[in-house]
Amino acid sequence: MGSYRMCVCFTRKFRITEAEPPSDVTEYFTKYAEGGTHMTAEQLRNFLADVQGYGGASTSDAERIVEQVLQKRHHHIAKLITRRTLTLEDFHHYLFSADLNPPIENQVHQDMNAPLSHYYIYTGHNSYLTGNQLSSDCSHVPIIKALKRGVRVVELDLWPNSKKDDVNVLHGRTLTTPVELVKCLKSIKEHAFTDSPYPVVITLEDHLTPDLQAKVAKLLMKTFKDMLFIPDSECFKKLPSPEELKYRIIISTKPPKEYLEDKCVTVKADNIHKRKDSEEDAWGNEPSELTEEHEDVDTSESEASEQNLDYEDNNNSNRGAEPASYKRLIALHAGKPNGGLKEALKVEVDRVRRLSLSEQALEKAAESHGTDVVRFTQKNILRVYPKGTRFNSSNYKPLIGWMHGAQMVAFNMQGYGKSLWLMHGMFRANGGCGYVKKPDFVMNDKQIFDPKAKLPVKKTLKVKVYMGDGWHLDFKQTHFDLYSPPDFYTRVGIAGVPADEVMNKTKKKEDDWTPVWEEEFTFPLRAPELALLRIEVHEYDMSEKDDFGGQTCLPVSELRQGIRAVPLFDRKGVKYNSVRLLMRFEFT
């Protein structure tokens, strides 16, 4: 009897049945094929216009789709097929193909001619680290990976080498092993524009002596040549657009100290070396010094650094000798005024600048001066970075930064997890080019957006989860269960402004590699422009933690209506070859 049972389990384990098309798909096929067994290109065109929202689809567009589907499904006998129509199975295959029927556009479609401050920009933090913040190797490889993913802001921490005659990139006052600056710069030059033509900003955290700054200037000019953007004047009065800066490299850092005192900067920064016990103190007692990561002293870190302070102070007397070339290359000035939060968020008439705040500093600023932050980001650049205690390279929720207009929400790109999935989702928008136009309401200077205000529902999104497929191709047969097919369920929800945040889940579908759920969810959205649709598939496990079966985040503003194939990604954000869901999106 026992062996018979094993045999049943064994046969069950390898049974993969092809799921029937969901009832909606069958109904649409019957309706548009006008009761026939085959759908012509013209009938498909009508379906694309009515259901999928392709008002401008032509019959030749539909003919091309029919041809692609037949080629893909019947490539082994393609030459023998003379028909130019789709069966129900062909139609279902088309709808369930992530290549032919994706959920969002893959083209740049937003206006790219507004100033840089009008865009969210895909931003990395400590872009050179391979792992954790304290002891991982520094390398040019994570920089290449980030650029290939579409990241447009790369951060490099510059420190003198042990002989003080060259420049290394490393996370200061930690055990991270350094990488040479020249290696990082060459990697940036080589890969900056493989994924996107829009500008790459290099933010430098500079702990260098004047002679090493001069060396960096030469290295930047020698490496990037004409790619390097050199501003005409000492500082921008208004930022150029991503379109104007295509294929250019922009340097952003704090100008050397004596330079801060000239006419371009309206407030002195004498207290560069003052140290706070923690970032909390820095915000607690206004007016006080703002926490600013891009300082000679990196206040984002909590470890002691007295020896470094001595080194920096000894070199301050040489600041005047710092050659002009380094200053000239800084296109986007970073820096903090000496004073409280109100001072930091002042919008100046004749110049723009970049301010950096830790995630906690932003939270406090949002609490007490939310609309001031939004007003500041309409013209200036705000960079938010992870708190120094995130030693394991984890990340924070990016939405608070985006709600307040922060362009550079800086993330540890190696810190895999739900926060990074949201970051990936946001920057799937606008063809994945790394620049996403901020919503109009965040840029409205007549009525400054108050993220704490109660908002009315602007739009309702209906999401139907039909079915899933592809796990049997991308996972081992025994990955989820040793003796039976998996029990999948899907979690569907919204990340966005607090009032829009929600997570729902389908029932679990037992023992099925191609689960069919056919469940619908309704999401009333107050700020659809900032909403991300979160999708996760898990496999129910009675005795342990549920297994992970894939995830994706999609910008709601980019969703294409109708029935779509939604490809899923692994925990690190790498796309599975075959795993996908069939879903429907409808706006009311």
Query: Model's pTM, two decimal places?
Result: 0.86
Given the DSSP bridges, would you call strands 381-385 and 408-411 parallel, antiparallel or unpaired?
parallel
Domain 2-95 shares a fold with domain 116-443: no
Could you give the 3-state DSSP secondary structure of residue 251?
Answer: strand
Which pair of structure tokens corresponds to residue 467?
A: 């079915």
Domain extents for the chain?
2-95, 116-443, 459-587
Given a cut of 50, the residues of the chain with pLDDT beneath it are 1-13, 259-322
Give pLDDT, residue 259: 43
Residue with tokens 């500079």: 206
Residue 171 catalytic? yes
What 8-state DSSP symbol labels residue 137?
A: B
Q: Is 559 helix (H, G, I), strand (E, B) or coil?
A: strand
What's the CATH code, domain 459-587?
2.60.40.150
Q: State how far the Cα of 359 lies from the Cα of 400, in Å rounded to an integer.
A: 9
Rg value, the chain, Cα: 27
β-bridge partners, 204:
156
- Assess contact for 491 and 464: CB atoms under 8 A: no
Strands (E), 400-515: 408-411, 435-437, 459-469, 488-495, 502-505
Of the residues 140, 171, 207, 424, only one is catalytic, namely 171
Calpha distance 146→155 (Å, rounded): 11
Q: Report the first-to-last Cα separation within the chain, whole angstroms.
A: 57
Residue 437 forms beta bridges with which residues? 119
| Amino acid in the structure at residue 428 | R
Question: Which of 372, 429, 436 has its CA nearest to residue 407?
Answer: 436
Q: Which two tokens stand for residue 307?
A: 């020896």
Q: How far apart are CA 200 and CA 184, in angstroms?
A: 14
- In angstroms, rounded to a whole number, what is the distance separating the alpha carbons of residues 145 and 438? 25
Q: For domain 2-95, is the CATH number 1.10.238?
A: yes
What angle is formed at CA 112 by the lines to CA 108 and CA 113, rounded to 5 degrees?
160
Q: Is 466 helix (H, G, I), strand (E, B) or coil?
A: strand
Report the pLDDT value the prediction gives residue 77, as an integer from 0 to 100: 62
**CATH 3.20.20.190 is held by the domain 116-443:** yes
Question: How far is 212 from 318, CA to CA, in rounded Å?
Answer: 12
Catalytic residue among 92, 93, 118, 125: 125
Phi, psi (rounded to 5 degrees) for 39 = -110, 125
Whether 290 contacts 335, CB under 8 Å: no
DSSP letter, residue 370: H
